Amino acid sequence: MALWLACYYFLRPWRLREIFILRDWRRLREERFCTAEENFYELQLAELSRRYQTPAGRVEEILRAWLTIRPKKILRFCVRKKVLAIVKAHQLRGVKMIVYSDNPVREKLSAINFSPDASFCADELRCMKPDAHGLIKILTTLELAPDDVLYIGDRDDRDGLCAKASGVNYLDIKNFEALL
């Protein structure tokens, strides 16, 4: 994805501002973790719109292009096939598979041909990882106890801390893959 981003803007230097919008989008999300404010997605759009003097609708188009549309085109080549096969096999046995992401995820899941039992995004939960409130809302919504859940993530500083603060067992995806 990074290579695609670099090539795209190398050929379109007049649109380089978009890279900074993407960078600052991520920074805002990483720094704020959990705003506890209604519509924090809209607040982030407004902040970037103001900062870059770009209409909020255009900021949203840029984000959608790089966070959803373009990744969908390459995700099937990047998916951890063994992990996905194991997850699907467990799901067929009745194990509930739930996806929780700080970014919109439903379209990406369809791109890799995976239908979890439920999926949640930070924007819907109004909470960013590692703040535990989002995961606690998921547990409450699905009527699950922390002991009933194994959280598999790829970032100890976000997923691991979120799981720990929620009382949920955590497994880093790298350790999971080492078991395969």
Amino acid at 95: V
Choose among 138, 165, 166, 127: nearest CA to 35: 127
pLDDT of residue 3: 87
Extents of the domains making up the chain: 2-76, 80-179
Three-state secondary-structure class, residue 23: helix
Q: What is the largest CA-CA distance in the chain?
A: 52
Q: pLDDT tens digits, residue range 46-55?
A: 999 999 999 9
Amino acid at 74: I
Q: Taking 90 as the threshold, does the pLDDT of residue 62 lie above it?
A: yes
Q: What is the mean pLDDT of the chain?
A: 88
- Picking from 37-46, 67-76, 81-90, 147-156, which range would have the lowest pLDDT averaged per residue? 37-46
**DSSP line for 55-107:** -HHHHHHHHHIIIIIHHHHHHHHHS-HHHHHHHHHHHHTT---EEEESS--HH
CA–CA dist 168, 162 (Å, integer): 8
Domain 80-179 classification at class level:
alpha beta
CA–CA dist 53, 38 (Å, integer): 23
Question: How distant, in Å, are the alpha carbons of 3, 43, 72, 136 from that of 106?
Answer: 24, 22, 10, 20
Q: pLDDT tens digits, residue range 85-111?
A: 888 898 899 888 899 998 888 888 888
Which tokens sit at 167? 């009382």
Mean pLDDT calculated for residue range 75-84:
85
Question: What share of the chain has pLDDT > 70, as a percent?
Answer: 96
Amino acid at 35: T
Q: Taking 70 as the threshold, does the pLDDT of residue 131 lie above it?
A: yes
